[in-house]
Structure 1
Amino acid sequence: MSAPLASLKILDFSTLLPGPFASLLLADMGAEVLRIESPTRMDLLRVLPPHDGGTSASHAYLNRNKRSLALDLKQPEALEIIQQLLGEYDIVLEQFRPGVMERLGLGYEALKAINPQLIYVSISGYGQTGPYRDRAGHDINYLALAGLASYTGRADSGPVPLGMQVADVAGGSLHGVIGLLAAVIARQQSGQGTHLDVSMTDCAFSLNAMAGAGYLACGAEPGREDQMLNGGSFYDYYRTRDGRWMSVGSLEPAFMQQLCAALGRPELAAQGLSQRAEQQQALKHALQVEFERHDFAELCELFAGVDACVEPVLSLGEAVRHPQLQARGLVTQVPRGDGTIQAQMACPLKFSQALPAPRHVGAGLGQHTDEVLAELGFSAERIAELRSTKVIL
């Protein structure tokens, strides 16, 4: 198929995770993404372990299908190159703290004057306004300030750091892509660009979908292990005899009946219908006793043929080999550029006609500098001159 976003050309100034994950999705769907990277201040993702053949596996994945232009943005000639690129690349994605792009002469208003149709996406921790706009932060801080950490974890031990970056990815990356594509549609209708201000804290706050709605409408403040879906009911994880874990989400009566019947305790099903906290905790204890009578493999086999919303907690290696994930094609082979390939997570979006195969892993720093400048009409001599003055790498 013709890639659905093949008409989009994006200048990506972002580093680390939120911006690169957003532009990865866009590149996988066919957008032409050109990373603008500093030749002196390396994207720390490039050195993040583990490494595959001397290259960060995370960088190779998050930056696949993108080209890299190494450009010292503090030099006047670099600004001129960006201005020329705006003749073709009419979407900018940046992830600096507020004000940084303006100081470089690359703020929205300055670039909009060159291309009025420019779509300019700024992803930051706290947004472009407000008292925290200049404050440093990480995923754990955004989740804390957004209220999400207040009702996750255990009542006796408090919140736990999650294994993946919810505010970065579900907040900055996915909301950034949604907003960017909405801006593209609006531009098709109006001919005007826009500046999209994406705050990871704002977006994390919006993820309080049910708890936030309940608090704002009814004043119901959620706490740890006092909600149906956060450990306050039997909906939870259960340890097996050999120290593994099973997930139980048997909320509906039919699923609860099948769960209890499979464990040989059909009489417990009635307790699952009770909303009383003491009944839920008694059921939870009874289920834990039953799960601890069996090893993990035995429980996997037992529930494989039971439609009760009970599934094993898999390691990443086990998840990769699971027949459902394999059938969905969630692992792809990506060319490294030297004739070898690297296994990576595939784009999870499934169109009726397949997306184009991945072209290459994340590029080396400045790997496409000469190519991009030649496309702009720069001569070999001019490119050599820019390199000698360290404007480019």
Structure 2
Amino acid sequence: MALFPTFVPPTGEQALTGIRVVFPTALGPVPFAAMLLADLGAEVIRIDRAGAAGVIGTALADDPRTRGQRSIGIDLKHPEGRAIATRLAASADVLLEGMRPGAMERLGLGPADLHTVNPLLVYGRATGWGQDGPLAQTVGHDINYIARSGALHPIGDPDRPPAVPLNLVADFGGGGAYLVLGVLAALIQRERTGRGQVIDCAMVDGAASLTTMIHAMLGSGAWRPERGANLLDGAAPFYRTYGTADGRYVAVGAIEPAFYRALMDGLGLDPAQWPQHDRSRWAEQRIAMAEIFACRTRAEWVERFRGTDACVTAVSTPAEAVADPELAVREVFVDWDGVPQPAPAPRLSASPAVARPRCGQAADTAELLAELGLDRAEIDGLCDARAVFRAPGRP
């Protein structure tokens, strides 16, 4: 019996059915954004370059972010390759790109070039520092963008360097998700104006945007600038993680007074002796709670708090999350095209996601060129000129 369900594709039209998205192979936010759009029904065409790889240590064909896509191999530095890319863009509703500012313009594929052939095109650009400004040409990764934007400093313990929150904040939160937000907004406005536009999605902007609530708390005096001294950064004994007897961890998030009382009851503590918002005693209370949590295993604490409002949850590994039987009821993870992975989110009641297979490198080159009106001789000629390329074994 499978640990999690196989996703069953629903029938009917999806929310983005009829929207064509084209994007050159990229890292970070762009393929994630393309996956989100494909999950919602968009036709997504990836332009591969020879030798392009997927996630570090992962082939493109094994990357869940390629689900629902088709791919074409094009050398964008070849004049005939650029001509094919321009024809694809002319047929598209959306183009996404994640190159350094100016790179697409040097290829003759910038917004001004493509809006000439397709004024309706929504042109989404994802970079670290934005299309302009003194940092525009500076290289970087997620950790650099969240560091500069102020999103990294508050994360972690006060006596240690800031903790690295994987690459979730800038790459996927402030980058890919914000890029999709911009695309959808531009598509809606296009219905009113009849014109496309350019989306400048900088990960530093998105990461800063995600800290909006922190800035609100700073402005009101409810947030201290030092790390590990605030309600949501692990200082509060009722909002942090604790080690258990078996070397695992539980997460505690009992912010509301009723939830806090349930937590104290489960731990055998008297809330009257531990006033929830007495910061002068938080350090002492963290030690007391840590000692209690260390007396039982993670599984024992999960059972202890099951059915209560104490907000105590096991800290699962990614593999444990996939195998979680209670998450399986909701199908949070699915076996999609033979690979366990998160199911599409969010869920639309009338037009849910459709399971479509992952896409290997240049898997659909000949088919897509034929759809553009090229015959077999023209396709073979482009391949011989190395303006385009096909996956090994593909006709």
Regarding TM over 0.5, the answer is: yes
Q: Secondary structure at the match of 2:271?
A: helix
Q: CA deviation at 1:324?
A: 3.3
Residue equivalent to 1:15: 26
Mapped partners of 1:268, 1:289: distance in 2: 17
Query: CA 1:112–1:56 in structure 2 vs 1: closer, same or farther (change >3 Å)?
Result: closer
Q: Distance in 2 between matches of 1:113 and 1:86?
A: 11
Instruction: Please name the residue that 1:36 is paired with.
Output: 47
Give CA-to-partner distance per residue, 1:325-378, whole Å, 9 cap, x none.
21221223333xxxxx333321022122463532211x2221111000101110
Contact 1:253 1:269 (C-alpha < 8 Å) held by counterparts: no
Match of 1:165 in 2: 168
For 1:283, the equivalent position in structure 2 comes to 285
SS in 1 for 2:153: helix
Contact persistence 2:13–2:351 (CA under 8 A):
no
Cα deviation per residue 1:106-154 (whole Å; 9 max; x = unaligned)? 0101111111111100000000011000000001101100111111111
Match of 1:194 in 2: 197
Shift of 1:217: 6.2
1:131 aligns to 2:134 (yes or no) = yes
The amino acid across from 1:331 in the alignment is: F
Q: Using a 3 Å threshold, how does the CA distance of structure 1 residues 120 and 269 change in structure 2: closer, same or farther? A: farther
Q: Which runs of structure 2 are paired with 1:38-187 in the superposition (5 Å)?
A: 38-39=49-50, 42-45=51-54, 48-49=56-57, 55=59, 59-187=62-190
**Structure of higher RCO (CA pairs closer than 8 Å, 6+ residues apart):** 2
Residue pair 1:211, 1:222 contacting (<8 A) in 2 also: no
Superposed displacement of residue 76, structure 1? 1.1
Q: Determine whether 1:294 maps to 2:296.
A: yes
**Amino acid aligned to 1:33:** V
Residue identity (%): 36
Counterpart of 1:253 (choices 257, 274, 285) is 257
Deviation of the 1:268 alpha carbon? 3.5
Computed over aligned residues only, the root mean square deviation of the Cα atoms, in angstroms, reads 1.8
Number of the residue aligned with 2:7: none
> What are the equivalent positions in structure 2 for 1:209-358 lying under 5 Å apart?
209-216=212-219, 222-234=225-237, 235-265=239-269, 267-268=270-271, 270-274=273-277, 276-335=278-337, 341-353=338-350, 355-358=352-355
SS in 1 for 2:117: coil
CA contact (8 A) 1:272 1:283 kept: no
Number of aligned pairs? Answer: 377
Cα distance in 2 for partners of 1:356, 1:315 equals 26
Instruction: State the alpha-carbon separation in 1 of the partners of residues 100 and 67 from structure 2.
Output: 25
TM-score by length of 2: 0.91
Unpaired runs of 5+ residues, structure 1, are 336-340
The 8 Å contact of residues 9 and 89 in structure 1, kept in 2 or not, is answered as yes
Higher mean alpha-carbon deviation, 29-38 vs 311-320, is at 311-320
Displacement of 1:27: 0.4
- In the alignment, which residue of structure 1 is the partner of 2:367? 371
Q: Secondary structure, in 3 states, of the residue corresponding to 1:34?
A: strand
Deviation, structure 1 residue 100: 0.1
Q: Which runs of 5+ in 2 are unaligned?
A: 1-11, 390-395
Per-residue CA distance 1:265-296 (angstroms, 9 max, x = gap) = 2x13552433x322222222221121112122
Deviation of 1:221 (Å): 5.2
Query: Amino acid of the residue matched to residue 93 of structure 2?
Result: D
Q: Equivalents in 2 of 1:269, 1:368: separation in Å?
A: 67
Whole-Å separation in 1 of the counterparts to 2:22 and 2:287: 54
Describe the SS at the equivalent of 1:149: coil
More displaced stretch, 193-202 vs 205-214: 205-214
Return the offset for 1:17.
Answer: 2.4
Name which of 204, 208, 211 aligns with 1:208.
211
Conserved 8 A contact 1:272-1:280: no
